[in-house]
Amino acid sequence: MSTARSISSGAGKLLTDGMVLPVAVVLALVVFFAFASDAFLTLRNLTAISGQASTLLLACLGATFVILMGSIDLSVGAMVLFVGAVTVKAINAFDLGVGALLVGLLTGMALGFGNGVIFAFGRIPSFVVTLGTLSVFTGAAWEILQGRALRYDSLIFEELAIGQLIPRFPNIALIAVIAWALMVVLCFATRFGRYMYIIGGGEAVATTAGIPVRRYKIYAFMLSGMMAGLTGALAVARLGTAGPTLGQDLLLNTLAAIVVGGTSLSGGVGGVHRTLIGVLIIALLDNGLNLMGVNQYSQMMVKGAVVICAVLVGQDRGKSVVMK
């Protein structure tokens, strides 16, 4: 009985530890922007926030696991762009409808697999690998788009994102919440999730314990690619087009949301349950500053400062932050 109680309390501590400050920041932002703009707490604006935040949340879910194991994926935004371009091409060529979502998932997974194999077997730091593939994926996407936005004609696919099974709550937000819940289960109730924490806590220890580190590194990058693929397909469904700027803001925003939520860049600390809070902080900042008329350059400065503060507050002083 006491053992079960200790396990339960330990799991509860794991889920809540370190979340007080991020939740307090969310509440403070809501109060501040509610006073700063009369339009902030309107149903229309809250619906807009849910749609904007869902794209960022989906992109962050897979990337969180990569950071959790002490690595980094800088190519998420580029994968979103490439998958978006491929998805539109596939819809226009084959009239796939909702089936285009599978194209996005598989394409993203293939890109993530490439990142993982190069990282795991090439023994190149993940920072360098994904910085290089960021350029490769972006160039390939621009080659497909030929510098212009591509539109598609599929009402069914469009409804997948902007429809509202729940009034005032777009389907893309519903999908994002379901995906987040599934990733929380994956993080805390599966071998994969446990191994991410162990590898992030100490790769040498994980290897000594008999964990197939290389294989799980590849799995993590495949998951990051798959979620980026889902993000790209749904972003296209939401916008009705794939343009050269699709996903360009995700490089900063995904890292910002994950780190601000409390997942440490040194690995082994945090998880996707915290990422939701980080996404809310970034989405509220974007929306509130837009309503206040703050230009995008100043917004980038604010978000950059928020990331630096989050790292200073949340980093493990006993570990050096090294990207593996």
Q: What is residue 10's predicted lDDT score, i.e. its pLDDT?
A: 43
58: nearest Cα among 251, 303, 267, 229:
229
pLDDT, residue 196, reads: 95
Contacts (Cβ under 8 Å, ≥6 apart) of 139: none
The pLDDT score that the predictor gives to residue 249 is: 87
* Cβ atoms of residues 230 and 68 within 8 Å: no
Fold of the domain built from segment(s) 19-314: ABC transporter involved in vitamin B12 uptake, BtuC (1.10.3470)
**Tens of pLDDT along the chain (324 residues)?**
443 444 344 444 445 556 787 888 889 889 999 999 899 999 889 888 998 899 999 999 999 999 999 999 999 999 999 999 999 999 988 888 888 899 999 999 999 999 999 999 998 999 999 999 999 999 999 999 988 998 988 888 888 888 888 888 899 999 999 999 999 999 999 999 999 999 998 888 899 989 999 999 999 999 999 999 999 999 999 888 999 999 888 988 999 899 888 888 888 888 999 999 999 999 999 999 999 988 888 888 887 887 787 777 655 545 555 556
- pTM of the predicted model as reported, rounded to 2 decimal places: 0.89
Domain ranges of the chain: 19-314
The pLDDT of residue 294: 86
Place of tokens 């939401």: 238
pLDDT value for 315? 57
Per the structure block, which two tokens stand in for 195? 């191994």
